[in-house]
Amino acid sequence: VEASGGMTTRDVVSGGSGPAGLTAAVYAARAMLSPLVLEGEPSSTSDQPGGQLMLTTDVENFPGFPSGIQGPELMANMREQAARFGAELRQVRATRVELVQSPFGVWVGDEEIRARCVILATGARALMLGLEQEPRLLGHGLSTCATCDGFFFRGQEIGVVGGGDSALEEALFLTRFASKVSVIHRRDQQRASKIMQERAMANPKIEFVWNSRVTSLVGESKLSGLVLADTTTGEERTMDVGGLFVAIGHVPNSDLFASQVGCDSAGYVTTLPGSTSTTVDGVFACGDLVDHTYRQAITAAGSGCSAAIDAERWLEAQH
Ligand code: NAP
């Protein structure tokens, strides 16, 4: 950290505090780069500090926790670990960035921060149905990730909402655990690729529920069923399920900088092959903001580590 003319220039400023952002912070802090982490705002559902793991309960596939760990506890541990090595963590969100050339400008309201390097780790969010009961039941029978949570629904009947490749991929994966999987789609035609449709149709555990919208979720502390409305007749009916997976797509949290760094058509930040470098020299990106394929806590953490090492080497090459 270096002050000149009243303005402080940090070596590394990062945005986002999920597994990618906090792993980057641990590595950058241990490289004596005193990173500043803009964690996001506690009141927000899309950029809450800790990221998407704050919306889950048990995490059983993060290596190193043989009996599993709660998502929020895992994130609290990562945060503590980053702070222990000197990362500065602030529960605020950047409101403006200027990523033309290093040193870059990052603003939190009126406060301007200068950064030699920027690490973007703002993640992605799963699209939700917008139902009143969703926040309460997320992690309690309602999920957005079959790889993460499918295991908890062994022997149960499960619903999957969506008609794209994600919905069918989730449904096919869930047949390993569920006694039956109902794919609930608002139209009578899938958007998913032919091959995925054929695979799903051929699976005896998968049933398609066409022209149906989920209008409400049943259950107080745990999901037990759904209310479905027929999109052609408006008629409502209930369906008992032990779990519901919403698979209607994800969006990356890249609005703040999508016009300044290279992104693909869906808004995910593009990085150079085998690296976390973006199209802007000195700006690195990691985690779900970049990755729409794996979307796992451990892959995000791994890419956060890569981003910090890339940033460290880049800074060293500058001096
Ligand atoms: P997607 O293709 O955009 O499909 C989203 C689905 O959710 C659509 O069927 C849509 O219905 C439905 N939907 C959207 N909003 C809804 C709402 N509010 N209520 C109810 N239903 C809603 O998204 P995706 O399936 O996540 O796929 C994203 C991209 O990744 C695609 O290009 C896909 O091919 C690719 N992908 C590929 C694979 C694979 O090849 N294995 C796996 C996953 C994803 P409508 O059809 O009526 O619009």
Res 9: pLDDT: 94
Residue whose Cα lies nearest atom 18 of ligand 1: it is: 129
Using the mean position of ligand 1's atoms as its centre, give its distance from the Cα of residue 162 in Å.
6
Round to whole Å and give the CA distance between 69 and 94.
30
Selecting among 47, 117, 148, 286, the annotated active-site residue is: 148
Question: With bands split at pLDDT 50, 70 and 90, how would you rate the model's confidence at 43?
Answer: low
pLDDT of residue 4: 54
Q: Are 145 and 54 a contacting pair, CB within 8 Å? A: no
Half-sphere exposure of 149 (CA within 13 A, CB side): 26
pLDDT value for 31 = 98
Residues 131-173 pLDDT 10s:
999 999 999 999 999 988 999 999 999 999 999 999 999 999 9
Residue 59 exposure: Cα atoms within 13 Å on the Cβ side: 20
pLDDT in tens, 49-97: 999 888 777 888 999 999 999 999 999 999 999 999 999 999 999 999 9
- Per the annotation, the verdict on 148 as an active-site residue is yes
- Taking CA atoms, 68 is separated from 57, 62, 117, 196, 224, in Å, by 10, 8, 35, 32, 24
Structure tokens at 309: 């090492």
Catalytic residue among 58, 145, 165, 230: 145
Residues 33, 14 contacting (CB under 8 angstroms): no
Q: Examine the pLDDT at 124 and tell me if it is beyond 80.
A: yes
The pLDDT value recorded for residue 6 is: 60
Contact 47, 95 (CB under 8 A): no
Q: Which two tokens stand for residue 280?
A: 């802007």
Residue-level pLDDT at 147: 86
- Ligand 1 geometric centre to CA of 193 (Å): 10
189 Cα nearest atom in ligand 1: 46
Q: Is 263 a catalytic residue?
A: no
Choose the weakest-confidence range: 33-47, 87-101, 259-273: 33-47
Structure confidence at residue 307 (pLDDT): 98
Shortest-distance Cα residue to atom 9 of ligand 1: 163
Tell me which of 11, 47, 149, 291 is the catalytic residue: 149
Higher pLDDT, 315 or 56: 315
Instruction: Give residues (CB < 6 A) around ligand 1.
Output: 129, 161-167, 169, 186-187, 191, 193, 248-249
Give the amino acid at 301.
Answer: A
Choose which residue among 144, 186, 197, 228 to substitute to test ligand 1 binding: the one with the highest number of ligand atoms within 8 A of its C-beta.
Answer: 186
Q: From CA 302, how far away is CA 297, in angstroms rounded?
A: 9
Peptide bond into 135 cis (omega under 30): no
Nearest Cα residue to 18 out of 59, 49, 43, 42:
49
At 319, the pLDDT band (50, 70, 90 cuts) reads confident
Say what the pLDDT of residue 193 is. Answer: 94
- Give the Å distance between the CA of 209 and the centre of ligand 1: 16
Q: Is residue 5's pLDDT more than 60?
A: no
DSSP string for 108-138: ETTEEEEEEEEEE---EEE-----TTHHHHB
pLDDT digits (tens, 9 = 90+) for 282-302: 999 999 999 999 999 999 999
Write down the pTM of the prediction: 0.84
Q: Is 145 a catalytic residue?
A: yes
